[in-house]
């Protein structure tokens, strides 16, 4: 059986990180599926889904690492072409990817004790983000 649901989040941009683990778990419980795979995908080209230990120091480390990897001050052809100065956000999203798939069993996500699912909004302004969760299981 397949079950899907779209969730919405208000974000701040500039690689803002939001813990969405409990929302994904809620979709699994709502689905009635017992075991399977949960695929979580950010809709749009300037956001990512990943996992991390969601604690303030590590979130700050992630932000600094992304800035070193692809600075928001990067002069990009995309920004020059479109005038929106968000080329860096597209590159960050491309490097991290739009989504992940995680298993679940007995209606519980199989994740580590300190592993949370995160939505990262890389854009250069606040956004209303959409995340789609597709479950395949029984």
> What CATH architecture is 2-137?
Sandwich (2.60)
- CA 133 – CA 110 distance, rounded (Å): 15
* Per-residue model confidence (pLDDT) at position 120: 98
Element (H, E) at 107: none
Mean pLDDT of 70-91: 90
Tens-digit pLDDT profile for residues 5-56: 999 999 999 999 999 999 999 999 999 999 999 999 999 999 999 999 999 9
* Per-residue model confidence (pLDDT) at position 80: 86
* Per-residue model confidence (pLDDT) at position 60: 97
Res. 84: pLDDT tops 90? no
């Amino acid at each position: 059986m397949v079950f899907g649901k779209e969730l919405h989040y208000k974000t701040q941009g500039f690689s803002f990180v939001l813990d969405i683990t409990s929302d994904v778990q809620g979709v699994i419980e709502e689905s009635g599926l017992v075991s399977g795979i949960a695929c979580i995908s950010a809709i749009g080209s300037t956001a990512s889904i990943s996992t991390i230990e969601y604690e303030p120091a590590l979130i700050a480390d992630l932000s600094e690492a992304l800035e070193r990897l692809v600075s928001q001050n990067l002069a990009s052809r995309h920004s020059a072409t479109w005038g929106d100065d968000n080329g860096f956000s597209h590159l960050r999203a491309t490097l991290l990817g739009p989504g992940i798939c995680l298993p679940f069993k007995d209606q519980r996500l199989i994740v580590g004790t300190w592993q949370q699912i995160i939505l990262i909004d890389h854009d250069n302004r606040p956004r209303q983000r959409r995340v789609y969760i597709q479950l395949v299981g029984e």
